Amino acid sequence: RIMSILQEERKNCTFNRLEITNLLDGSAKATENRRELERFILSFPELQDKIPIDYLSHEDRYAEELRKACLLIRKGFEAPGNDGQANTMRYLMGAGVGSAVLKEGNPLAVHFVMFVPTIMNQGTPEQQMEWLSKAWNCEIVGTYAQTELGHGTFLRGLETTATYDPTTEDFVLNTPTVTAYKWWPGGLGKTANHAVVMAQLWTKGKCHGPHPFLVQLRDTDTHEPLSGIDVGEIGPKMGLNTNDNGYLGFKSHRIPRTAMLMKYSQVLPDGTYVKPAHSKLSYGTMVFVRVVIVSDACQQLMKAATIAVRYSCVRKQSELIPGEPEPQIIEYQAQQAKIFPPVAACFALKFAAFYIIDLYQETTQRGEEIDLDLLPELHALSCGLKALSTTDIGQFVEVLRQSCGGHGYMSNSNFPRIYSQVQAAYTYEGENTVLWLQVARHLIKSYKNGGNYTSSYLSEKEIIRSQKLSGNIYDPYFLETVFRRTAFGLVRRAAAELDRLTAQGMNPHIAWNKASVLLIDAAKGHSRYFVVHNFNEKVASIKISQATRDVICHLRDLYLVHGILAYKGDFIMFGGLSDLDIVGLQSRQSYLFEQIRPNAVSIVDAFDIRDEILNSTLGVANGDVYNRLMEEAKNSPLNLTQVHSSFQNYLKPFMNAHL
């Protein structure tokens, strides 16, 4: 009976699920390739856990996941299809099928996501010839060592030094203080034998700032650390514990001059420094990783939403009407308010991820030249979307976990793992507060000098008019205008505060700090406006059936309405909305819940996440939640015996002690 509940829900579907699946994958061909890869990878029993990973020790977890990681990549190279090895590896490293195999993180992920791309993007043709094929084929295994114990997102504060010695044509790497130790790089602890190391470049007595160096850390045969290198693992974390995040220190460790990645800046044999054409060109790897994070975080939210929606249909609780049978908890509007906005956000943020991926490719793949005009836009947008997606998704995942009650707290629900991995993304590759301020700097400059691309609205001075806009609050394009006005108002307020403080004679840097809360609000408002604008653009351009379009439009409308209601104060202050408008939007939200409800299960089904990838007792596609929970409980090692040895050793003597 329980298993039939989701079958009945699916009968209510009013749209073509495959259309949404293809849309979220990018194309029908992309869906076909993804499914083919999933079928292939999940067909190998040796890639599955022999013992549930939750019951392994820290050391055994790492060993088991490294075993599977090596096999996963080997199988990835053998995978059928014509999607290209690069796309295959990217998918295996993310929250898709790779997470079905490696649930606590992939110790080789940083090798493919950061180490290899850095060689590609920042190495000269000669350096790529020397290292790229070895890295791609895993003859060498690398990581990306930038963050230090005492410094993270603030690159200029890095303390590791690389001092050029022209007499030997070597760089001498040193870690001058404990805070200068590299800290956090994934795969550094026990896996990697090479690293791209960001270090302060010194030559001819002058520091030229952080630059990338390709450094061998361990002997490729014995895996012993080389002379002058102190390397190890940093220990347990909230999650991702098989990523073997590590620490790294140098003591007068020498590397050849050619170990500096010199595509954009060089050090000549005599020590002369040749600076890059653009100061931000060397930040390409970080931008790329932020692009990946946005897409990966969306996949995590899709998992969490699928689990919560399915469980909300299976779970029955309390009485909606006294004396009548217990309803599915999805029938409660309070439950719909928890689970439907995250479902809508999956689409909004996924479409935003597509946009930034396209922009990244446009910026970096025009032959050998990088579009310098697009670099500031790409940097600001990648910062904003990384911060927005990981912040919102982290909050949504926790709400979705709470929506599943006590069972959502179980490890086998997969919520704890999803949550810990999303929360990690809030901080790594740019802590979100710092990223918001990077966006704000771009916005203030655009406000004063005229914006372009996604900040072009900052040049539209007519939107600063104080009178209320006229329009229909049910019209998504009118609501987009409200988001734009609000974003403009938040930027204008932050700029005015900066002007006020500096007019009083305050140092501009101190003024920036004093205005930082308002600047962050401006960055958030801008980023949310972009996502809304992009959502509307996507809905207008996609070619799908009317029935499927109706479903997506309801989700789009909910994303806009929920976004306004969540920050209603800003939209009243700057967006021109009245109290009555807010009341109307609250009614509109209730209406949208009713429209989405019949299709809820089919919408998350269209995310097309296999049970092996979802890895959740609560989210199984057949709805057999309670039997799955009981099976998992029976599998606990504590249940192998009725009387545990600790009873005789500890509990019985304690009970007999007559305290």
Which pairing describes strands 194-203 and 161-165: parallel, antiparallel, or unpaired?
Answer: parallel
DSSP structural state of residue 518: H
Say what the pLDDT of residue 367 is.
Answer: 43
Cβ atoms of 320 and 332 within 8 Å: the answer is yes
Question: pLDDT grade, residue 637 (50/70/90)?
Answer: very high
What sign has the CA pseudo-torsion 120, 40, 96, 81?
positive
Residue carrying structure tokens 């180490």: 115
**161: β partners:** 174, 200
Tokens coding 104:
């606590």
Does the annotation list 14 as a binding residue? Answer: no
What sign has the CA pseudo-torsion 154, 158, 164, 168?
negative
* pLDDT tens readout for residues 511-543: 999 999 999 999 999 999 999 999 999 999 999
Q: What are phi and psi of 454, to 5 degrees?
A: -75, -10
Pick the more confident residue, 583 or 364.
Answer: 583
Annotated catalytic residues are 429
CA distance 596 to 555: 8
**Distance between terminal CA atoms of the chain?**
51
Residue 277 has pLDDT above 80, yes or no: no
Residue carrying structure tokens 């998918």: 91
Sheet holding 246-250, edge to edge: 182-183, 246-250, 229-233
Say what the pLDDT of residue 371 is.
Answer: 64
Tokens coding 619:
């989210």
**258: β partners:** none
Distances from the Cα of 441 to the Cα of 101, 284, 376, 387, 518, angstroms: 41, 19, 11, 15, 12
Question: pLDDT grade, residue 471 (50/70/90)?
Answer: confident
Distances from the Cα of 587 to the Cα of 470, 552, 565, 568, 592, angstroms: 19, 19, 11, 14, 9
Cβ atoms of 548 and 539 within 8 Å: the answer is no
Which pairing describes strands 194-203 and 182-183: parallel, antiparallel, or unpaired?
Answer: unpaired
CA distance 286 to 297: 16
Say what the pLDDT of residue 285 is.
Answer: 64
Opening angle at CA 146, ends 142 and 150, nearest 5: 135
* pLDDT tens readout for residues 22-41: 999 999 999 999 999 999 99
DSSP structural state of residue 340: H
Pick the more confident residue, 140 or 362.
Answer: 140
Nearest residue to 22 (alpha-carbon basis) of 13, 35, 10, 39:
35
Opening angle at CA 403, ends 398 and 405, nearest 5: 105
Opening angle at CA 337, ends 332 and 339, nearest 5: 95
H or E segment and range at residue 117? helix 116-122
Instruction: Annotate 294-304 with b (16+ C-beta within 10 A) or e (fewer).
Output: bbbbbbbbbbb
CA distance 217 to 585: 58
Contacts of 329 (CB under 8 A, 6+ apart): 312, 315, 316, 317, 335
Query: How many Cβ atoms are within 10 Å of 135's Cβ, its own excluded?
Result: 23
Lowest-confidence segment of 65-79, 271-285, 506-520 by average pLDDT: 271-285
Say what the pLDDT of residue 87 is.
Answer: 80
Say what the pLDDT of residue 266 is.
Answer: 96
Tokens coding 489:
């108002």
* pLDDT tens readout for residues 370-399: 566 778 888 899 999 999 999 999 999 999
Say what the pLDDT of residue 84 is.
Answer: 61
Cβ atoms of 118 and 285 within 8 Å: the answer is yes
In single-letter form, the type of residue at position 324 comes to E
Say what the pLDDT of residue 549 is.
Answer: 98
CA distance 601 to 615: 17
| Average confidence (pLDDT) over 71-82 | 87
Residue 200 has pLDDT above 70, yes or no: yes
- Residue 292: half-sphere exposure toward Cβ, Cα within 13 Å: 23
> What is the pLDDT of the chain when averaged over all its residues?
93
Nearest residue to 487 (alpha-carbon basis) of 449, 521, 460:
521
Residues of the chain with pLDDT > 70: what percent?
95
CA distance 108 to 111: 5
Per DSSP, the residues of 234-286 read: ----SS-TTS--EEEEESSEEEEGGGB--SS-EE-TTS-EE--SSTTGGGHHH
Residues of the chain with pLDDT > 90: what percent?
83
277, burial (CB in 10 Å: exposed 0-12, middle 13-18, buried 19+): exposed
Question: pLDDT grade, residue 369 (50/70/90)?
Answer: low
Query: How many Cβ atoms are within 10 Å of 501's Cβ, its own excluded?
Result: 18
Alpha carbon 444 to its chain's center: 26
| Average confidence (pLDDT) over 292-301 | 94
> Domains of the chain, with CATH numbers?
1-24+283-455+473-638 (1.20.140.10), 144-282 (2.40.110.10)
Helices then strands, counting H and E runs in the chain, come out as: 25, 11
Does the annotation list 430 as a binding residue? Answer: no
Q: What is the model's pTM?
A: 0.94
Per DSSP, the residues of 341-385 read: HHHHHHHHHHHHHHHHHHHHHHHH-BTTB--TTTHHHHHHHHHHH
* pLDDT tens readout for residues 406-435: 999 999 999 999 999 999 999 988 899 999
Pick the more confident residue, 94 or 372.
Answer: 94
Tokens coding 164:
């050029």
Alpha carbon 111 to its chain's center: 17
In single-letter form, the type of residue at position 158 comes to L
